[in-house]
Chain A
Amino acid sequence: MIDAMSSLLIVSGLAFYLAGSIGLLRLPDLYSRLHALTKADNLGLGLLTAGLALHAQDLLIALKLVLIWLAVLAASAASAHLIAQHARHRETPS
């Protein structure tokens, strides 16, 4: 039962990752890429860590997994904002 849950979580996490990457390649401009990607890969990592946490041997590892996800979540929210700001400032490809 736990195995099935975990597999489901990991596979759906992977699907979000791949969707994000394809979006990064196919979407027409930076802003839509930012919009799509920051949601997709964070959700992907969240599902993946949840799936792996079910396998964790001890609580410390499960806690570390949660911490990693929170760190990525907070970091990417901030960096998406900063990248958008940066792009608006310059608005020139380099």
Chain B
Amino acid sequence: MNTTALLVLDVLLVFSLLSLAAAALATRDASRSVILFMAFGLVLAVAWARLLAPDVALAEAAIGAGLSGALLLAAVREQPRRALSGDAKPVHERERTSIDVTLQLTVTLLCVAVAALLAWALAEAFDRGPQDTLAQAVSETLAASGVSNPVTAILLNFRAYDTLLELAVLLTAVLGILALGPARPGYQAAGPVFDSLVRWLVPVLILTAGYLLWVGAHAPGGAFQAGATLAAAAVVLRLAGHRTAGLPPGRTLHVVMAAGVGMFLVVGLSLLVLGRPFLGYPPAWAGGLILLIESAAMLAIAATLVLAFLGGRPQPAAGLSGEKRQC
């Protein structure tokens, strides 16, 4: 692709991103803002593809353009209008809208200063040229990592501690969500058109999740993208009237939630017992161990995202419609 054409594409992409971000933030209506944010995510996925970051593009396509929009829309729908959108706010909030102009100006100036500082730091970094020490270290040791996709190698081998702690962060978030109360009310059983959509979309999403998990070893993909795709399948089920969105009941759900952290710890501790460093895989087993951890992590990430969409503890079978499950 020649340079001029690429530059035109870049300018159009950047302009789209800026105007969508500005529009999403400027509008006062909540659901309008969420739709603009979803469109922003779509364009962002194309931008990641353009910048040769297909792993990130996959995650953005699944989460930014799909799941987080669904999550925000569910929240907008549920809240009585005054709580989340600006239409008719309680008195104390209305007072806060008319914050005095000085404060607004100060904060705006502060934000401009932050942007200028960031721009200066980046310009300095670009002036010094690319620092490839880490990238070189990755490409030199990639062969011994058990996978050939460098991003997966970093996440599950070289920086496995970070990913373990990230899964712990996700677990904390989901425990917080569960502790805060019951799930939002469910949805009525789907009509015929929606039902036919569910019938093919859910199996295709589940299959795609499995494909992404498997392909992540040697091409863009992996536990995060697969988990998000699996969660999307559950979100569709929930929208079609399944109250628990296909989540397993009670104890099993808790096991699934903790599966990512748990499998990481089991593998790490077993390696310690065998006389290796914590999470220091023997090269011969690395590929298999990574796939094992990633499978557990996928389930945990999917469960986290689904519970995030539910917004609280699943409430099976309240007697109305939807499927009946004992907890």
Q: Do chains A and B touch in the complex (CB under 8 A)?
A: yes
Number of interface residues of B (CB under 8 A): 10
B29 touches A78 (CB 8 A): no
Instruction: Tell whether B194 is near chain A: CB-to-CB under 8 Å.
Output: yes
Stretch in B37-45, B118-126, B195-203 with 4+ CB within 8 Å of A: B195-203
A-B contact count (CB 8 A): 17
Number of interface residues of A (CB under 8 A): 8
Within 8 A of A (CB), among B199-236: 200-201, 204
Instruction: Tell whether B274 is near chain A: CB-to-CB under 8 Å.
Output: no
A75 touches B201 (CB 8 A): yes
Instruction: For the complex, give the distance between the alpha carbons of A81 and B11 in Å.
Output: 35
Instruction: Tell whether A94 is near chain B: CB-to-CB under 8 Å.
Output: yes
Point out the residues of chain A lying under 8 angstroms from B204, CB to CB: 71
B194 touches A82 (CB 8 A): yes
Instruction: For the complex, give the distance between the alpha carbons of A64 and B62 in Å.
Output: 18
Point out the residues of chain A lying under 8 angstroms from B201, CB to CB: 74-75
Residue of B nearest to A78 (CB): B197
Residue of A nearest to B85 (CB): A94
B31 touches A82 (CB 8 A): no
Point out the residues of chain B lying under 8 angstroms from A81, CB to CB: 193
Chain B interface helix/strand/loop/mixed: helix
Point out the residues of chain A lying under 8 angstroms from B324, CB to CB: none
Point out the residues of chain B lying under 8 angstroms from A71, CB to CB: 204
Instruction: For the complex, give the distance between the alpha carbons of A82 and B31 in Å.
Output: 17
Instruction: For the complex, give the distance between the alpha carbons of A94 and B86 in Å.
Output: 13
Instruction: Tell whether B32 is near chain A: CB-to-CB under 8 Å.
Output: yes
Residue interface bits A51-94, CB-to-B below 8 A is 1, else 0: 00000000000000000000100110010011001000000001
How far does the Cβ of B220 sit from chain A's closest Cβ, in whole Å?
Answer: 14
Instruction: For the complex, give the distance between the alpha carbons of A71 and B200 in Å.
Output: 9
Candidates B29, B31, B32, B197; contact of A75 at CB < 8 Å: B197
Point out the residues of chain B lying under 8 angstroms from A75, CB to CB: 197, 201
Point out the residues of chain A lying under 8 angstroms from B200, CB to CB: 74
Point out the residues of chain A lying under 8 angstroms from B29, CB to CB: 94
Within 8 A of A (CB), among B162-201: 193-194, 196-197, 200-201
How far does the Cβ of B235 sit from chain A's closest Cβ, in whole Å?
Answer: 14
Instruction: For the complex, give the distance between the alpha carbons of A82 and B194 in Å.
Output: 8
How far does the Cβ of B311 sit from chain A's closest Cβ, in whole Å?
Answer: 22
Residue interface bits B18-62, CB-to-A below 8 A is 1, else 0: 000000000001011000000000000000000000000000000
Instruction: For the complex, give the distance between the alpha carbons of A81 and B197 in Å.
Output: 11
Point out the residues of chain B lying under 8 angstroms from A78, CB to CB: 193-194, 196-197
Within 8 A of B (CB), among A31-50: none
Instruction: For the complex, give the distance between the alpha carbons of A74 and B203 in Å.
Output: 14
Question: Which of B29, B31, B193: most chain A CB closer than 10 A?
Answer: B193
How far does the Cβ of A12 sit from chain B's closest Cβ, in whole Å?
Answer: 21
Point out the residues of chain B lying under 8 angstroms from A82, CB to CB: 193-194
Residue of B nearest to A64 (CB): B211
**Known: A74-B200, A75-B201. Contact between A94 and B32, CB under 8 A?**
yes
How far does the Cβ of A5 sit from chain B's closest Cβ, in whole Å?
Answer: 22
B193 touches A94 (CB 8 A): no
How far does the Cβ of B38 sit from chain A's closest Cβ, in whole Å?
Answer: 13
Residue of A nearest to B191 (CB): A85
Residue of A nearest to B197 (CB): A78
Residue of B nearest to A81 (CB): B193
Beyond A82-B194, A85-B193, A94-B29, 14 additional contacts (C-beta under 8 Å) are A71-B204, A74-B197, A74-B200, A74-B201, A75-B197, A75-B201, A78-B193, A78-B194, A78-B196, A78-B197, A81-B193, A82-B193, A94-B31, A94-B32
B-side residues, CB < 8 A to A, are: 29, 31-32, 193-194, 196-197, 200-201, 204
The 6 nearest A-B residue pairs measured at CB:
A78-B197, A81-B193, A78-B193, A94-B29, A74-B200, A82-B193
**A to B CB contacts below 8 Å, 9 in the list:** A71-B204, A74-B200, A74-B201, A75-B197, A78-B193, A78-B194, A81-B193, A82-B194, A94-B29
